[in-house]
Amino acid sequence: RLANDRLVSRARDILADGMEQQLTGDDLAIRMETELGLGDKSWYAETIVRTNLASAYGAGRYSQMTDPTVRALRPFVQFRTVGDARVRHEHRELDDKVFVNGSELHAQYAPPLGFNCRCQMVTISKRQFEARGYALTRSEVLIDGTPYTGDKGWTSPATRIR
């Protein structure tokens, strides 16, 4: 456990330093491989980098969207996938769902929802909501009869956002 904690801590340091230096994702993955001794596991380093960058980006977007000024102008958010064949079943089920901006459901479904998640949330004005005839999602989304809170092995929404 201690060795794993040290590895995670070192990976975070590498990521933070790389982001501060504005390194590309590829450069961060190469640095991660080299400094952590991952050898030919480039896919692993790429997943670590991509997931952490997506998490940082998602947290920043969530913070921007839930700013009181933005919420006043754009009180709704819509979950969107990239719409290709690689979208996971669970994420596809969330596609186009609309939530109240800043609500618990918004926090619960704010991307990323798993490793290599490419989904996003976009803000929607009241006028857009009405003109497009959107329906507001007011409760947890059930997928195959079970409330969905993120991919297996992913952190809980409470620790991802806030």
CA 98 – CA 76 distance, rounded (Å): 7
Please give the single-letter amino acid code of residue 122.
Answer: V
Please give the single-letter amino acid code of residue 116.
Answer: N
Q: Are 10 and 35 in contact (CB under 8 A)?
A: yes
- CA angle centred on 53, ends 143 and 74, rounded to 5°: 65
| Token code pair at residue 36 | 């952590």
- CA angle centred on 106, ends 102 and 108, rounded to 5°: 130
H helix or E strand, kind and range, residue 70: helix 68-73
Cβ-based neighbour number of residue 14 at 10 Å? 21
User: What is the per-residue pLDDT for 162?
Assistant: 47
Please give the single-letter amino acid code of residue 120.
Answer: Q
Closest C-alpha among 39, 7, 6, 33 to residue 18: 33
Half-sphere exposure of residue 131: CA atoms within 13 angstroms, side-chain side: 5
User: What is the per-residue pLDDT for 67?
Assistant: 97
Going by the DSSP 8-state scheme, the letter that residue 123 receives in this structure is E
Closest C-alpha among 40, 13, 42, 39 to residue 29: 42
pLDDT tens for the chain, 162 residues long, are 555 677 778 888 888 898 889 988 888 888 888 888 877 667 777 887 888 788 888 999 999 999 999 999 999 999 999 999 999 999 999 999 999 999 999 999 999 998 889 999 999 999 999 999 999 999 999 999 999 988 877 765 545 554
User: What is the per-residue pLDDT for 122?
Assistant: 97
CA 52 – CA 15 distance, rounded (Å): 8
User: What is the per-residue pLDDT for 158?
Assistant: 47
